Amino acid sequence: MNRTILHVDLNNFYASVECLYRPEIRDVPVVVGGDVEARHGIVLAKNYHAKQLGVKTGEAIWQAKQKCPGLVVVPTDFKKYLRFSRMAREIYADYTDQIEAFGIDEAWLDVSGSKYISGDGHVLADTIRRRMVNELGITASVGVSWNKIFAKLGSDMKKPNATTVINKYNYKDLVWPLAVGELLYVGRSTKRKLENRAIFTIGDLAKRDIKDLKLLLGVWGETLWQFANGLDSAPVRQSREESIIKSVGNSTTTARDLVNNQDVKLIIYVLAESVAARLRQHGLKCTTVTISIRSNELFSFERQSKLITPSFISSDIALKAMELFKANYFWDKPIRSLGVRGADLVTADNHIQLDLFNGNQVGRENLERAIDSLRNRFGACCIQRGAMILDRRLTGFNPKDDHVIHPVSLFR
């Protein structure tokens, strides 16, 4: 049976949601960005008024303001975005249970079965777009095709609030003339390699000998050739399926440069507490701790080390992270950003190997869970380590609630 796949992309999602709450800024240039004072000042999302003036996602807010002096900058509020993302998902669920998120504002839907009840892919796409406007107050662009890759390309072709159908009869006219960089997973490095071989469009890629592409890019060359020719057969995962969590981490660009071990220790404990809390939330423990370090000259690297036993205790993660830091960083330059990640995860309900010389492990875990309960009830700042008050400019952030939700990979 031929599949019917939709890709729904909520237009200017963060900015659209913010404009719903502040009608007075709907008709002026708006960006959603980080805290400039905390050096998180980049554009995360923009509305069409800002886009028309040349504002780009990812650029610094000060650069955006040079292009648009009257720019309105709104801080992020991920609780609102998650709420609207969940409501959008409820709309999708009226037509299929095969829903696969691609970040907070995009999703693939396999409507192959429901099209016989609710209409073909084009009709369903238009219905979903109307419901987005009428029920949520935001717009969406929808791509319709027989595979996920072309459906994603379709949702990008016409914006805002449009449906694009790419079928087996028109894909050569619609898809092949596009620049090769428009194809999912063709990044800057791959694009440069392809263009060096005179592969400038998706059509050029589709017509190239697959053996030449494998020599150039390895197995990935064959995969991209299949994408370009519409041979993607990856399924849309059902809504109740959960991808395997491979790691849990948080990072931050600090409010000022870190210049000594004490500064680093404060940040590591804030990050470790967030990582540990998220591990407990998912019923997981980590067996490996990874740190990422970036200097103020943007040199970066990662280091990792195994824990003696799996843990979701913040102090275990923080101590291992500090141990890694001291062994690998020699203060050639001040530090601009830090990250802590727990990896090689196992389920938390496994049997615990008790250590007679390392205190009461069960008691420490129960204490951490009690802290979670207090913070859930009274807020993240209701109970904190004493060290956190030493420099509130550095430690006054909540990475657990503020972390950005990134798109997940097509391949799992």
Catalytic positions, written as ranges: 106
Pairwise CA distance, residues 250 & 243, whole Å: 19
Inter-CA distances, 188 with 42, 180, 181, Å: 21, 10, 8
Q: CA torsion, points 387, 389, 393, 395, in degrees to nearest 10?
A: 50
Residue with tokens 């950003």: 337
3-state secondary structure of 253: strand
Exposure b/e, 370-400, CB count within 10 A at least 16 = b: ebeeebeeeebeeeeeeebeeeeebbebbbb
Q: CA torsion, points 312, 321, 353, 375, in degrees to nearest 10?
A: -20
3-state secondary structure of 126: helix
* Burial of 357 (C-beta count, 10 Å sphere; 0-12/13-18/19+): exposed
Pick from 245, 265, 247: nearest CA to 342: 247
Pairwise CA distance, residues 155 & 162, whole Å: 8
54: left (phi over 0), alpha (psi -120 to 50) or beta: left
With a CB cutoff of 8 Å and minimum separation 6, the contacts of 222 are 210, 213, 214
**Partner residues linked to 101 by β-bridges:** 107
Inter-CA distances, 189 with 181, 186, 274, Å: 10, 8, 33
Exposure b/e, 137-157, CB count within 10 A at least 16 = b: ebbbbbbbbbbbbbbbbbbeb
Q: What is the sign of the dihedral through the CA atoms of 119, 120, 124 and 126? A: negative
3-state secondary structure of 72: strand
- Cis peptide bond upstream of 23, omega within 30: no
Length of the chain: 412
